[in-house]
Amino acid sequence: MSASAIYILDMKGKVLISRNYRGDIEMNVIEKFMQLLLEKEDESQLSPIFQHGDVAFVYIKYNNVYRVYSILFIFNIL
């Protein structure tokens, strides 16, 4: 499983740098990331990986910057 897109965000969730590698997800999916992250912090369920719909977010926070990888998360089980 490889990253569909990579984003570098500031602490407020503003996109500093982004790159869509595979084109299988929309670039505006990152707008939901900070909302989900804040919800997870409030519920004390913070994890470096979480899913929203068909997109999984993997993130690392370092020096007040978030590095976020988005991955299309679809399983075809037959």
pLDDT digits (tens, 9 = 90+) for 37-69: 888 877 777 789 988 888 999 999 999 999 999
Transcribe the chain into DSSP letters: ---SEEEEE-TT--EEEEEESS-SS-GGGGHHHHHHHHHHHHTT---SEEEETTEEEEEEEETTEEEEEEEE------
Q: Is residue 23 part of a domain?
A: yes
CATH code of the domain covering residue 11: 3.30.450.60
pLDDT digits (tens, 9 = 90+) for 65-77: 999 999 987 766 5
Q: Name the residue range of residue 62's domain.
A: 5-72
Q: Is residue 77 part of a domain?
A: no
Q: Please, which contacts does 46-52 make with residues 24 or more away whose CB atoms are closer than 8 Å?
A: none
